[in-house]
Each structure stands twice: as C-alpha cells, then as structure tokens.
Structure 1
Amino acid sequence: MDPPVVPADRLGGWRRVAETTDRPFVAGPVSVTASTVRYERSDAPGPRPFCFASRLRIRPETAPNVALTRLVERRAREGFRDRLAERDVEAVERRGDREIAIDDPDASRATLWTFRGDCRTDAADGRDGEGAGAVPVEALLAVWATDEYFLAGGAYPLDAGAYSDGRGPADARRELLGIVRGVRPPARGANRDGNE
C-alpha cells in the first residue's frame, strides 16, 4: 500500500527521512495497516521540525462512520503521543482542537489537535553552545476521511533561536498546516514525490 502524497511544491527545505508500513492495531478479526511517510526540515538545528502523513487501511473493509472515526481519532492521538515521546518530547499537553478544511475536495473536514511539550536537548543537537535543556515545541495532528482514513501532522520548536533567515514559530505553523492540508490519496501514475 502506497503512502499518501505530499505535494512536492510544499516541501521546500524538507527531506524525506522514512517511509514505513506497519500494523498499529489488531483486535480479533479487525486490523489497521498504516502506510506513512515522514519528513524533517533539512536546514534546522535540533530539535528539527518534522511532519508525516499516513494512510490507513482497515480490514475487514469498512466505510468511515461516526463510531469508527472516534476510534481512529483516539488511537491516532495515542500513537502521536508515542511518536512525540520517541523524539524526546515530554510533558505533552493537549491545547485544543478544531476543524480545518483539507485541499482534497473528496475529503471530510479534518479534526486538528494542538499539543505542547518540551523537547530534551543536549549539546549534540547543534544548538549554538547550549548545553542540555528543553525546548518548548508545538505539535499538530489532523485526522480526516475520504473513502479511507488519513492522518497528518508534525511538530516544530516554539523557541525563536531554533530558526534562521527571519523565520519563526508562526512561519513553521503556517508551513506545517499547508503541508497537512495538501496531503491526498496516491493517484495512479504519480511518483513518490507527489508529481504526476
């Protein structure tokens, strides 16, 4: 199963760091397979902003519905917290949720959650002369459906010192939201960078 497409024109300064397919959920005859692509900003010191997009396949095949959407959303939030923990983000707090439009005209509105936490850092993270400490980060997670479910999101530092060239956290948030909104199902004949 191919991962979703992230349009190449929204990935300036980002590099693909992983593409995985795994089975995050199995309960009796029901299973969920997730195909995920992950990117990091190539021009940022630690902690590096990252983003990801996942496409879910549920077996036995089931059309999106209210109960299933609630389950997918709950499991997605739990999995996202695990993903943040793997990236040394601690003390994660949910800061709110809202609906956003996705660029795909066949998609439902996405539920977007905002989280905040602290990323442990050390001198090896490439921050100018700083020793161990914590950098506040904001993380976003969106879940929506077409005829299948999609997840997308990422995180970025809230510390202005983590940015160069006049960029800041507000720019990082706008950029991440643009990437999330641009995620779409893979199209026949499309290559892995989102170009057809």
Structure 2
Amino acid sequence: MDPPVVPADRLVGWRRVAETTERPFDAGPISVTASTVRYERSDDPTPRPFCFASRLSIRPETAPNAPLTRLVERQSKVGFRDRLADRGIEAVEQRGDREIAVDDPTASRARVWTFRGDCRPVATDRGPSDETAASAVPVEALLAVWATDQYLLAGGAYPLDAGAYPNGRNAADARRELLGIVRGVRPPAKDEDGE
C-alpha cells in the first residue's frame, strides 16, 4: 500500500527521511494498516521541523462513518503523542482543535489538533550533557485527520523559539507552511497505488 501523495511544490526545502508501513491496531477480525511518509526541513537547526502524511487501510474494508471516525481520531492522537515522545518532545499538552478545508474537493473537512511541548535533544550513547539537559525548546505540533473514501492523517511539529530559524523565518512561517502541506495531501491515484 502506497502512502498518500504530498505535492512536490509544497516540499521545497524538505527532504524525505522515511517511508513505513505498520499495523498500529489489530483486534480480532479488525486491523488497521498505516502507510506513512515523513519529511524534515533540510535547512533548519535542531529541533528540526518535520511533517508526515499517512493513509489508513481498515480491514474488513469499511467506509468512513461517524463512530469509526471518532475511533480513528482518538487512536491517531495517542499514536501522535507517542511519535512526539520518540522525537524527544515531552510535557505535551493539547491546546485546541478546529476544522480546516483540504484541497481535495471530495474529502471531508479535516479536524486539526494543536499540541505544545518541550523538545530536549535525544541523549547520545554518552548521555545528555548539562547543556542539553537545560536546552529545552518549546515546540508546537499539529495533527489532522480527514476522510475521502479512506482515512488520511497529516501533521508535524516545529520549534516556537525564534532563534531556531535561519534566513528571517519564524514559527508563524513554519505553521503556515505545515498547514499548506497538510491541505495538499491526497490519496494516490488508483493507478499509482501499490495494492
């Protein structure tokens, strides 16, 4: 199963760092497989902004519906918090949610959650130094979930500290850029899909 498509024109300054397929949920006859692609900004310092896009396959095949959407949203938020923790982002708090339109006219509106936390550099084999232990950077993260004929997820995180950005960029620019990427995510065309 191929991951969703992220328009190349929205990824200027980003580099693809991973593509994975995993099964985040499996209970009896019901399973969910997620195909995900992840990108990082190539020019920003640590913590480096990242974004991702995931496409879910639910078996047995089930069309999106209200109860299933609530389950996908709830499980997606739990999984996203885990991913943030893997990247050294801790003390994560949900700050709100809203709906946004995506570029795909056949899709539902996306529900977007905003989270805030602190990023501490991940310890090396030698352990954290006094400097890294004291250098937490505030981070904002966004997670969006919406439906076409399947569920799509997209989001990412970026530092809020003005000193984390080169070339006159700032957190507001990073937020606009991330939301632009999220809005552009779409499922692969039927002939592009590897299923």
Same fold? TM cut 0.5 = yes
Q: Give the TM-score range, shorter chain.
A: over 0.9
Q: 1:135 aligns with which of 129, 132, 137?
A: 137
Code of the aligned partner of 2:38: R
- Are residues 58 and 141 of structure 1, via their aligned partners in 2, closer, same or farther at CA, if it must alter by over 3 Å? same
Spell out structure 1 runs of 4+ moving beyond 6 A.
Answer: none
1:41 aligns with 2:41: yes
SS of the equivalent of 2:181 reads helix
Task: Within 5 Å, give how 1:18-167 maps onto structure 2.
Answer: 18-121=18-121, 131-132=131-132, 133-167=135-169
Would the aligned equivalents of 2:87 and 2:122 in 1 still touch at CA under 8 Å? no
- Are residues 80 and 122 of structure 1, via their aligned partners in 2, closer, same or farther at CA, if it must alter by over 3 Å? closer
What's the offset of the Cα at 1:122? 7.5
Code of the aligned partner of 1:84: L
In 2, the alpha carbon distance for the partners of 1:123 and 1:29 equals 40
In 2, the alpha carbon distance for the partners of 1:42 and 1:147 equals 33
Code of the aligned partner of 1:66: A
In 2, the alpha carbon distance for the partners of 1:122 and 1:162 equals 17
Code of the aligned partner of 1:185: P
Would the aligned equivalents of 2:15 and 2:40 in 1 still touch at CA under 8 Å? yes
> Under a length normalisation based on structure 2, what TM-score does the superposition of the two structures give?
0.92
In 2, the alpha carbon distance for the partners of 1:108 and 1:117 equals 29
Would the aligned equivalents of 2:138 and 2:159 in 1 still touch at CA under 8 Å? yes
Percentage of identical aligned residues: 80
In 2, the alpha carbon distance for the partners of 1:123 and 1:62 equals 42
In 2, the alpha carbon distance for the partners of 1:35 and 1:152 equals 12
Would the aligned equivalents of 1:92 and 1:116 in 2 still touch at CA under 8 Å? yes
In 1, the alpha carbon distance for the partners of 2:144 and 2:107 equals 12
- Are residues 66 and 189 of structure 1, via their aligned partners in 2, closer, same or farther at CA, if it must alter by over 3 Å? closer
Would the aligned equivalents of 1:30 and 1:59 in 2 still touch at CA under 8 Å? yes
SS of the equivalent of 1:15 reads strand
In 1, the alpha carbon distance for the partners of 2:192 and 2:147 equals 21
Q: CA RMSD in A?
A: 1.8
In 2, the alpha carbon distance for the partners of 1:62 and 1:30 equals 10
Unaligned runs of 5+ in 2: 125-129
Unaligned runs of 5+ in 1: 125-129, 192-196
> Under a length normalisation based on structure 1, what TM-score does the superposition of the two structures give?
0.92
Code of the aligned partner of 1:174: R
Q: How many residues align?
A: 187
SS of the equivalent of 2:63 reads coil
Give CA-to-partner distance per residue, 1:119-146, whole Å, 9 cap, x none.
003799xxxxx93120000000000000
